[in-house]
A and B are shown apart, each in its own frame.
Chain A
Amino acid sequence: MASLITCPHCGTRPKEEFSIRGAAAPKRPSATAKDEDWHRYVYVRDNPKGRYQEYWHHVAGCRRFLVVDRDNLTHEVFGVTDASDFERARTAG
């Protein structure tokens, strides 16, 4: 169930401990990127149905940003990673 998130640092926790901070898939443009890129990053977001990667901040726990890979239709959670590991894997791959 999506209301239980298994934090890689703290273990299984209720969703009340987290703050959802939006989609993790869009890549942040560089500081010198064009205004169009920033506009697209800040305002033009997809609203997908189904599997979805999202930033969750563990506010009441370890206070780390996590990336929760979940299905927003069935509430199934496929995986939770620390956001720094997620970013490292994305830049490496």
Chain B
Amino acid sequence: MSINLLQRHVLEDHISGFETDPNPNHLAVVRRPVIFSVLAHAGHEAAVAEALKAASDLAPRFCGPSEWLAVSQTVGAETIGGLLSNIPGASFADQSDGKVLMTISGPSVRKILAKCVAVDLHSDVFAEGDSANMLCCHVAANVARTGADTFEIIVPRSFAGSVFDELMEMGREHALTRGFSD
């Protein structure tokens, strides 16, 4: 048996054992997402925000004033890097290896996240497409709402194990299952 250590995901040991069929409440770990951090130069904040919103194959995640994460699950790092270098007044860096992207979805997702996040996630306040940095399971994470009952959580790689375990613990009463998304 050959093991490809280069492609080994940090949560590989947490998602070992038999694989069950996903329940309605499911935590999916994206194996190789592309995540860039983007900073706008002074005076270019609005232009860069517009360009990121208009870009295809790329989802901007708000971190703070003139700071975003550019996330893509469809195209590679070279494409996103090329795309970002065409935006005037923006600096960027590839963070794909340092971040872990998890997608939590299902009818009970807000009940689960209410135990992890101290922020109001009602759709009136945190609408679809909104994203922000916040404490999630005691870790500074970026949380985004990508659907009515779907959230994406980006955490630093070294904290991913603890966040993953806590999410699973909080989802136990809602029969949360887990697995790699591909």
Contact = CB atoms under 8 A, between A and B. Distances in A.
A63 B119 CA distance: 17
Interface stretch (A6-14, A43-51, A73-81): A6-14
Given A11-B119, A13-B118, A60 B64 contact: no
A10 B120 contact: no
Contacts, number: 45
A82 B135 CA distance: 20
Nearest to B64: A62
Contact of B134 (A60, A64, A82): A60
A14 B118 contact: yes
Q: Tell me if B's interface is mostly helix, strand, loop or mixed.
A: strand
B125 interface: yes
A13 B133 CA distance: 11
B142 to A, nearest CB: 10
B93 interface: no
Interface residues of B, number: 13
A37 interface: no
Interface in B82-137: 118-120, 125, 132-135
A88 B132 CA distance: 26
Interface of A: 9-14, 16-17, 58-64, 82
Given A13-B118, A14-B119, 6 more contacts: A10-B64, A10-B133, A60-B133, A61-B64, A62-B64, A63-B133
